[in-house]
């Protein structure tokens, strides 16, 4: 199991200094325009209209293919005989996790050299003294991971090959902005790679160098395809250490907010006046977190063309990419034989980032810079308030369901069933 490390005061100071960047980094984009123009999250929250699975059955395909995991077609009922048998720990698996930062150059000369973080399961024979991973925002400013170490591909576990998962960050985000999630996936035996989407990162926001939204919408899926290309290329000097340890037929894409749009676009294709992206047929599954999936970004026809397994996770109090239509549309329209939906009660948009962890550092600091304090406090309404779902609980649910879903696709296990979670009150689970 993963190790538990106590953050030193110096690392906390460095992490807090980094939060000014994170505070500007997490706003999603649900419009087909420049993400920088997005309005801040409102405090007036929509009321969830979906019925809990304990009282109303989600739509179920009555003619599933022979390879589909069994689905309980009867609505679950409360009672001792249906006590959930799923254990929600923290979602982390048996592997220690290593992290390496690499560069995927733009060989076409378009200026989009992609900085990519790679999380991977570590061999049991690694040096126990490897340093904790530092997610660097600016020189000397970093967040120290509580569970991953800095390593290289030479230290990868030898019991692969492992599936490949590509993570796409939110508009104005960063490649490691949800490191709890990407580390959890790697700890369960996945190689996870996440690029910074140039022109749509936190650094671009602060520097005023953002790319207009319609251009970014074309760039993003093309970035993901380039990362996949690199990880399947045995002659790529940056990724060669990973190529031999991954299964090229087992690839998933996951992402948050605009990264959720990117995940769907990988399977649906996308086009606008700035170009066209053709669906990447190598992608075998999608996990979308609070996706930006309105009709302004993805047409009904595009969504209906998606037939690979999908899991969409939303937050009932998300006002940046509200469940209706950003979760309901893809859930209803995709043609996937294996399709799952999970709504987290009282969660918000930043629930799917690590920003709440930084807020916990404030009481430990003697004199944090006021600009950092103000930046953090400005984001507390986005998922870190006392009335919001506890972030540890949200992480456990998100990690557990994502891993279960991916394992069912790539390892033949049975995914979580409705009757395993029918007594849970802080999330609603659907199987179509």
Closest CA to 325 of 36, 34, 49: 49
**Angle at CA 347, nearest 5°, toward 346 and 351?**
160
pLDDT beyond 80 at 50? no
DSSP string, 204-237: HHHHT-PPPHHHHHHHHHHHHHHHHHHHT-TT-T
* pLDDT at site 223: 98
* pLDDT at site 126: 78
Q: How far is CA 128 from the centre of its chain?
A: 28
Above pLDDT 70, what percent of the chain?
Answer: 73
240-277 pLDDT tens trace: 999 999 999 999 999 999 999 999 999 999 999 999 99
* pLDDT at site 77: 31
- Can you tell me the distance from the alpha carbon of 340 to that of 429, in angstroms, rounded to the nearest whole number? 8
382-393 pLDDT tens trace: 778 889 999 999
Diameter of the chain measured on Cα atoms? 63
Q: Which one has a higher pLDDT value, 422 or 215?
A: 215
216-242 pLDDT tens trace: 999 999 999 999 999 999 999 999 999
Q: Which one has a higher pLDDT value, 406 or 419?
A: 406
* pLDDT at site 128: 74
- Can you tell me the distance from the alpha carbon of 336 to that of 102, in angstroms, rounded to the nearest whole number? 34
- Domain residue ranges of the chain, discontinuous segments joined by +: 9-431
pLDDT beyond 70 at 32? no
Q: Which residue has the tokens 């679950």?
A: 76
* pLDDT at site 374: 61
156-184 pLDDT tens trace: 999 999 999 999 999 988 999 999 999 99
pLDDT beyond 60 at 132? yes
* pLDDT at site 74: 39
**Res. 381 pLDDT band, cuts 50 70 90:** low
Helix (H) or strand (E) holding 287: strand 285-289
* pLDDT at site 356: 81
1-19 pLDDT tens trace: 444 333 333 343 333 344 4
- Can you tell me the distance from the alpha carbon of 119 to that of 193, in angstroms, rounded to the nearest whole number? 6
Range scoring the smallest mean pLDDT among 43-47, 58-62, 124-128, 418-422: 43-47
Average pLDDT score over the chain? 80
Q: Across-strand partners of 114?
A: 104
Burial of 379 (0-12, 13-18, 19+ CB in 10 A): buried
First to last CA, the chain: 33
* pLDDT at site 2: 42
Return the CATH class of domain 9-431: alpha beta
pLDDT beyond 50 at 421? yes
Most confident of 22-26, 73-77, 283-287: 283-287
341-355 pLDDT tens trace: 999 999 999 999 988
Q: Across-strand partners of 310?
A: 286, 339
Mean pLDDT to the nearest integer, 292-309: 97
> Which residues, other chains included, contact 237 with Cβ-Cβ below 8 Å and sequence gap of 6+?
none
* pLDDT at site 142: 58
52-85 pLDDT tens trace: 333 333 333 333 344 443 333 333 332 233 334 5
* pLDDT at site 17: 40
pLDDT beyond 60 at 116? yes
């Amino acid at each position: 199991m993963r190790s538990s490390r106590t953050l030193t005061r110096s690392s906390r100071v460095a992490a807090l200094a980094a939060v000014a960047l994170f505070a500007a980094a997490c706003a999603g984009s649900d419009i087909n325009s420049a993400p920088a123009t997005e309005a801040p999250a409102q405090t007036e929250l929509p009321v969830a209209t979906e019925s809990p699975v304990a009282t109303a059955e989600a739509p179920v395909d009555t003619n599933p293919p022979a390879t589909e995991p069994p689905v309980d077609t009867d609505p679950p009922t409360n009672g001792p005989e249906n006590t959930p048998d799923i254990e929600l720990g923290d979602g982390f698996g048996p592997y220690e996790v290593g992290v390496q930062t690499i560069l995927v150059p733009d060989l076409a000369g378009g200026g989009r050299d992609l900085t990519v973080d790679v999380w991977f399961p570590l061999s049991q024979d690694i040096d126990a003294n490897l340093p904790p991973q530092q997610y660097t925002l600016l020189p000397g400013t970093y967040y120290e991971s509580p569970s991953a170490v800095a390593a290289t591909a030479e230290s990868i576990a030898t019991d692969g090959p492992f599936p490949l998962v590509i993570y796409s960050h939110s508009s104005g985000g960063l490649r490691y902005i949800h490191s709890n999630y990407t580390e959890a996936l790697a700890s369960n035996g996945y190689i996870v790679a996440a690029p910074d989407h140039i022109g749509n990162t936190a650094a671009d926001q602060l520097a005023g160098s953002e790319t207009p939204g319609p251009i970014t919408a074309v760039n993003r899926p093309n970035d993901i395809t380039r990362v996949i290309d690199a990880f399947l290329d045995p002659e790529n000097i940056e990724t060669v250490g990973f190529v031999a340890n991954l299964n090229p037929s087992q690839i998933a894409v996951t992402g948050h907010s605009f990264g959720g749009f990117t995940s769907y676009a990988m399977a649906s294709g996308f086009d606008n006046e700035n170009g066209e992206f053709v669906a990447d047929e190598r992608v075998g599954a999608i996990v979308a977190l609070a996706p930006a999936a309105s009709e302004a970004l993805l047409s009904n026809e595009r969504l209906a063309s998606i037939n690979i397994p999908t899991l969409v996770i939303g937050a009932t109090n998300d006002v940046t990419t509200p469940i209706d239509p950003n979760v309901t549309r893809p859930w209803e329209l995709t043609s996937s034989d294996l399709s799952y939906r999970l709504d987290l009660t009282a969660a918000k948009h930043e629930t799917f980032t690590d920003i709440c962890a930084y807020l916990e550092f404030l009481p430990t600091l003697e004199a944090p810079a006021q600009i950092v304090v103000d930046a953090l406090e400005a984001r507390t309404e986005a998922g870190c308030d006392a009335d919001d779902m506890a972030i540890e609980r949200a992480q456990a649910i998100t990690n557990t369901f994502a891993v279960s879903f991916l394992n069912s696709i790539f390892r033949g296990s049975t995914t979580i069933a409705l009757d395993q979670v029918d007594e849970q009150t802080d999330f609603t689970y659907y199987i179509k």
